[in-house]
Chains A and B, each alone.
Chain A
Amino acid sequence: MAAKQQAHSAPSKAALWRRPIFRSVLFQALLILGVISFGYYLFNNTLQNLEQRGISTGFGFLSQEAGFGVVMSLIPFSEVSSYWDTFIVGLLNTLLVSILGIIFATAIGFLMGVARLSRNWLIAKLAAVYIETFRNIPLLLQIMFWYFAVLQPLPGPRQSINVTDMLFLNNRGLYLPAPVFEPGFGWVMAALGAAIVIVVLMVRWMHRQQEETGKIYHTVYASLAILIGLPLLMFLFAGSPLAWDFPALKGFNFKGGMVMIPELAALLLALSIYTGTFIAEAVRSGILAVSHGQTEAAYALGLRPGVTLRLVVIPQAMRVIIPQLTSQYLNLTKNSSLATAVGYPDLVAVFAGTTLNQTGQAVEVIAMTMAVYLIISLSISMFMNWYNKRKQLVER
């Protein structure tokens, strides 16, 4: 071929099917054609199958009456509520367990991550044992362990485990005192809001002062005083508008207070312990990623250890930790769907489980469920991209 090309005086144009542009256009056109026809094929089959089974398509079913109860819901829900309400109930329960799980997992994770780096040999080893144990056991197994092996065999309400007459633990759940907000509590919340605003403004102002004059202001105690003192004053001024409703045994079950159902407790325990291990590893890798030279340089400049940690190590470690942390939060949210194994009424259990079985609207229900998770994960990854851009090392 080479000899043939050399025979021409001017380099001839390559054959059409050898030109990159042509190939790329052809290939992509074929791909689009393939994707569309595959989609059409699936769509057609689905329509035919649904017709065969007598299922009408569309989202009309959402307004029908659901006719089943749910163990736990954050909005008023009864048998006469619609299928749309089941969606909302499931979604709220998913969000509830995810948010609580994220809080606990973060606390456990940071604690254990730092403990694993401790100079105390025993503490470091204990943290390592915790991480290596719970990281390598499937989450579903852990959820089922807490539910079927620990929480279900607990005694009934009459023999429940009693902690100072305030907490009661039995096989119906964990009973806690519930706060009752009396009129006037709004003022306390308003005071808290005002305190937050004042503290933010104060810290900003002092920061600017420090940059201009070099004089260091200590804001920690002042802001703590404002944050606690202002709402407290308002609380006393309004006449302590907060009461506690204690759970008490009445007949066969507890009345009053708040109850955390065992399904939620098992899920929460397992999710936070499991995700905590990954967060601990993220924290450890983040701290180790800050080179020792940084600490030494800070000491050489005369910074004390606490200040070094706060101003030098943590900001740099966070750059490594935050991306891993958000992806763990995302995993936790997705993993909360395992609730269906123990019957916690989350989105998958209620909507993609019961509602799907009752209506048979598989396509719509699964699509809505997937869309919820997709929206959550896409918005988190958008946040991540924004954060990465902001925190990227600016190299000169």
Chain B
Amino acid sequence: MSVHTPAPDLPPPSTEVGVIGWLRQNLFSSWLNSFWTLLAIYIIYLTIPPLVSWALLDANWFGSDRTSCDANPDGACWVFINVRFSQFMYGFYPASEYWRIDLAGILLVAMMVPLFLQRFRYKAWLAAAILLVYPVIAFQLFSGGLFGLLPVETTRWGGLMLTLVLSGVGIVASLPIGIVLALGRRSKMPIVRSVSVVFIELWRGVPLITVLFMASVMLPLFLPEGTHFDKLLRAMIGIVLFQSAYMAEVVRGGLQAIPKGQFEAAEALGLSYWKSMGLIILPQALKMVIPGIVNTFIALFKDTTLVLIIGLFDLLAMIQAGFTDTKWLGFAIEGYVFAALIYWIFCFSMSRYSQSLEKKLHTGHAR
């Protein structure tokens, strides 16, 4: 008796698996699709090779002046960036004092690292220290005066450092104001609610540039005679007012997502308003809106470029000043590409971080 042995499976057709299969499925599944693929390849062919040869292969990397760039005008002139690099980073800060900015930066990174460690148990305390203690230290380091540090006026702050200072202050100061406004908007007291609504909608309804104009032109009018504000502080006030309104809306989103039972349970336990908010509602709501906070931070980070219009020298303004200098006229593209790269790295990594957080935090309230 012969035992039936099934014939072995045939391998799948070579057009359905492997590289060819992938190509067929993803690039050439139909005539139309093939057309789009060819079009895309053509676009890539048009843009990428010239870009690579301009930015990398033909580029001028080393030197101390523009002679090599003038000799080879087909490539990018990264010499310009090289020579001006420290100004782009530190603005007009005295070169002998750069270490203070570096130290503040290293300190911040060192304080942030434990926040990302799973095992670290005192995250809340550390976060509080970063929000409350660190700004004082950083301010002392930057402006000097104490402990024999050379005083540096805020007019000399600039470059990437100023961009980071502005966005850091913007986010740290606007968070508490935003929380209060969000609570106010959800309050049962009609006057508190309307005051918060008016404040929030007022700042959200106007462009940041008018807020900055207002801060730089009108603040001196609003205050008693003789009060002197420096330009940086005025810009910061404008940014914080503007940003706190956006922050309030983000926090409100979190508050609205908390189930009503949580409020009722807190009330049933006899907690006062502030206790129930501080111990029950806000910890949950804030955790939920961390991605939203990161997103507003990204927007703020990009918006800090506007301070160049009211005459502060942030990264973009330093670059602008760099290529309008007669020594480096004509290297606008290099300058802008460099600035764009820096902004892009910061914003892109933050947005990826916020996306991963969103995924991580998403589990909590899933049913």
Contacts and interface: CB of A to CB of B under 8 A. Distances in A.
A348 interface: yes
B27 A121 contact: yes
Nearest to B303: A138
A138 B222 CA distance: 31
B9 interface: no
Contacts of A233: none
Contact of A334 (B33, B206, B351): B206
Nearest to A360: B217
Contacts of A96: none
Contacts of B223: 45
Contact of B302 (A46, A126, A132, A139): A139
A120 B33 contact: yes
B309 A352 contact: no
A123 B316 CA distance: 32
Interface in A115-136: 118-123, 126, 132-133, 135-136
Given A136-B344, A341-B308, A120 B27 contact: yes
9 contacts: A52-B225, A122-B26, A122-B36, A126-B43, A135-B347, A138-B303, A373-B205, A376-B205, A378-B201
Contact of B40 (A50, A120, A144, A348): A120
B218 A119 contact: no
Contacts of B202: 374
B36 A120 contact: yes
Nearest to A362: B217
Contacts of A378: 201, 205
Contacts of B188: 24
- Chain A interface category by residue count: 35 or more
B224 interface: yes
A366 B192 contact: no
Nearest to A377: B205
B112 interface: no
B129 to A, nearest CB: 30
A133 B344 contact: yes
Contacts of A46: 218, 221-222
Interface string B339-367: 11001100110010000000000000000
A137 B342 CA distance: 9
B107 interface: no
A127 to B, nearest CB: 10
Interface stretch (A27-35, A70-78, A205-213, A286-294): A27-35
B214 interface: yes
B209 A337 contact: yes
A144 B320 contact: yes
Given A145-B333, A145-B336, A149-B333, 5 more contacts: A24-B188, A122-B41, A123-B36, A138-B316, A340-B309
B3 interface: no
B305 A141 contact: yes
Given A49-B220, A362-B217, A366-B217, A119 B26 contact: yes
A348 B217 contact: no
A366 B214 contact: yes
Interface of A: 24, 27-28, 31-32, 35, 42, 45-46, 48-50, 52, 118-123, 126, 132-133, 135-142, 144-145, 148-149, 153, 334-335, 337-338, 340-341, 348, 352, 356, 362-363, 366, 369-370, 373-374, 376-378
B204 interface: yes
Contacts of B40: 120, 122-123, 126
Contacts of A32: 191
B68 interface: no
Nearest to B336: A145
Interface string B270-309: 0000000000000000000000000000100011011011
A136 B336 contact: no
Contacts of B343: 136-138, 141
A278 B69 CA distance: 37
A15 B305 CA distance: 55
A180 to B, nearest CB: 37
Given A144-B336, A356-B217, A373-B205, A366 B210 contact: yes
B316 A50 contact: no
Contacts of B201: 374, 378
B209 A42 contact: no
B15 interface: no
Nearest to A48: B225
Which 6 interchain pairs have the tightest Cβ spacing? A136-B347, A121-B26, A334-B207, A377-B205, A138-B302, A149-B332
Given A31-B191, A338-B209, A137 B340 contact: yes
A118 B26 CA distance: 10
B72 interface: no
Contacts of B302: 136-139
A49 B191 CA distance: 31
Contact of B195 (A31, A118, A120, A352): A31
A133 B351 CA distance: 12
Task: Determine which residue in A24, A118, A136 has the highest number of CB atoms from chain B within 10 A of its CB, and name it.
Answer: A136
A46 B347 CA distance: 40
Nearest to A140: B305
A49 B225 contact: yes
Contacts of A148: 320, 332, 336
Contact of B214 (A27, A122, A133, A370): A370
A370 B208 CA distance: 10
A132 to B, nearest CB: 7
Contact of A348 (B33, B192, B213, B336): B213
A262 to B, nearest CB: 14
Given A31-B195, A374-B206, A140 B217 contact: no
Given A48-B225, A138-B343, A145-B336, A119 B217 contact: no
Contacts of B190: 28
B348 A122 contact: no
A321 to B, nearest CB: 19
Contacts of B82: none
B293 to A, nearest CB: 17
Interface string B233-255: 00000000000000000000000
Contacts of A373: 205-207, 210
Given A50-B221, A139-B302, A334-B206, A122 B336 contact: no
Interface string B303-346: 10110110000001000100000000010110010011001100
Interface in B28-80: 29, 33, 36-37, 40-41, 43-44
